[in-house]
Amino acid sequence: MTGTTPAPAVPGLHLPRYLREEAAARTPVGFAEYRSTALRAPLRTPVDLPHRLTEVTGPVLGEDRVLPT
């Protein structure tokens, strides 16, 4: 496959998930007491994107990959 076409899902592949905080626990994006917030705060509610494989697994940079020289 080329471009941005997603690869087919592998049956039985279970990716770990990061814990997402509750909406009430998140820092508000707008604060009425600060006038400049109105210029910087997003106009729409932020969207949580699903984690991709590389974001969940990440690179292995510990003792497993470091070889003695």
Q: Is residue 8 part of a domain?
A: no
**Closest CA relative to residue 26, chosen from 43, 57, 47, 55:** 47
Q: Is residue 25 part of a domain?
A: yes
Q: Is residue 57 part of a domain?
A: no
Q: Is residue 36 part of a domain?
A: yes
pLDDT higher than 80, residue 62: no
Q: Where are the alpha helices (DSSP H) in the chain?
A: 37-40, 53-57
Span 15-61, pLDDT tens digits: 666 677 787 887 777 777 888 887 888 888 878 777 776 666 666 66
Q: Is residue 30 part of a domain?
A: yes
Question: Structural domain of residue 33, as residue ranges?
Answer: 17-41
Total domains in the fold of the chain: 1
Q: Is residue 3 part of a domain?
A: no
Q: Is residue 21 part of a domain?
A: yes
Q: Is residue 54 part of a domain?
A: no
